Structure 1
Amino acid sequence: MNFLAHIYLSFEDTDLTIGNFIGDFVKGNELDNYSDSIKKGIQLHRAIDSYTDSHEVVQKSKERLRDKYRHYSGVIVDIYYDHFLALHWQEFHKTPLRKFVDETYQLLNSESSRFPAKTKQMLPFMIKHDWLYNYQFFEGIQQVMHGMSRRTKFNSRMDESVVELRQYHDEFEDEFMTFFPDLINFSKEFIQKEN
């Protein structure tokens, strides 16, 4: 899953949100640099990624892209799924997406002193280009994919992947709507188990 889903799956707990947001940027023993509550958010992030990668519905989504995008297919599906979460936001959250995103940016900005360097560098771009809100639009997904494609060492062709999102929109949407309730339940159980 990508940023919007990780933030959503923190269920508005500040430290869980911080940990879940920075999860990709914290390596190995760097975990010990954080409080227990933020550490739990980082561990939640890793558990979400692991659960997502192994879920049979997600495998189906990735398989549709594998021939063209190889190992980048998982990254692309993560972003597609944020697109569908943004599109169907009102089915999962009582707060309108615009308000939720603005409050999230405010929170992340106020807590950014605790972020790893790479997260601090990324955050202003995320806010300036309004990634979390713009995931719902093809243009927003195109912008994110283009940026990610520029940062990959090899020619990932991720900047072309909006073509498949348009082409198989219904299929990816059905898969997301089947998978996401499972992920919500998994995340809630993980949090309760860790308490």
Structure 2
Amino acid sequence: MNHLAHALLAGADGERVLGGVLGDFVRGAPDPSLPGGVREGIALHRAIDGYTDRHPEVLAARALFEPPYRRYAGIALDMWFDHLLARDFGRWSTLPLTGFSSSLRELLRRQDALLPPTARRFAHYMQANDLPAAYADPVVLDRALAGIGQRLQRDNPLGRMLPVLQETDAPLQARFDAFFPQLQRFAHAWTP
């Protein structure tokens, strides 16, 4: 799952939401000086990633990709699932996507002092590109995949994956529809 899903799954507590977003930017044990709710959100982020990576629906979705795309299917699916979530956000949340996205960016702005440098750069990128709401737009998703691909050290097909994802939209949507309610239940029941 990517930033939109992690923020949504973290619930209504601002510290936990912040930790949910920071999970991709904190390596190892979180700084003990971080507020407890932020550390909880980071732990939830990691639990969500582990649950997602082992889930049968996600494994079946990964199997839809042929080489050389299969090796990068985990990254692509994280992004595509955020696209599917954004595309039909009203189905999964009572909040409007644009308001949720704006609130998330505002939270990151207010908590700038707690952000590691990489998260701070990403927060500025989110602001400049109307993320995570803009993940509903395939053009924005394509740019994001290409950007991730450029940051990886080895040659990879991420910058060419959007057409592959679009061609498999129906089966990926079906896998997501089966998986996401289970993930919501997991996140809701999770305790640190």
TM-score by length of 1: 0.94
Unaligned runs of 5+ in 1: none
User: What's the CA shift string for 1:115-170, capped at 9, x where partnerless?
Assistant: 11110122111210123111112111111111111111011110111011111111
Distance 1:37 1:158, change over 3 A: same
Q: How many equivalent residue pairs? A: 192
Give me the identity figure in percent.
Answer: 28
Check whether the contact 1:66–1:73 (CA below 8 A) recurs between aligned residues: no
- Which sits farther off after the overlay, 118-127 or 24-33? 24-33
How far, CA to CA, are the matches of 2:71 and 2:15 in structure 1? 31
- Which letter does structure 1 place at the counterpart of 2:42? I
The 3-state SS of whatever aligns with 1:90 is helix
User: What's the CA shift string for 1:75-132, capped at 9, x where partnerless?
Assistant: 1101010011011101111121111111111111111210111101221112101231
Q: Give the match for residue 7 of structure 1.
A: 7
The 3-state SS of whatever aligns with 1:127 is helix
Matched, 1:16 2:16: yes
How far, CA to CA, are the matches of 2:83 and 2:152 in structure 1? 21
How far, CA to CA, are the matches of 1:3 and 1:19 in structure 2? 11
- Which letter does structure 2 place at the counterpart of 1:143? R
More helix by share: 1
The 3-state SS of whatever aligns with 1:68 is coil
Unaligned runs of 5+ in 2: none
Pairwise CA distance, 1:70: 4.1
- Which letter does structure 1 place at the counterpart of 2:54? S
Distance 1:40 1:160, change over 3 A: same
- Which letter does structure 2 place at the counterpart of 1:19? G
Q: Give the match for residue 56 of structure 1.
A: 56
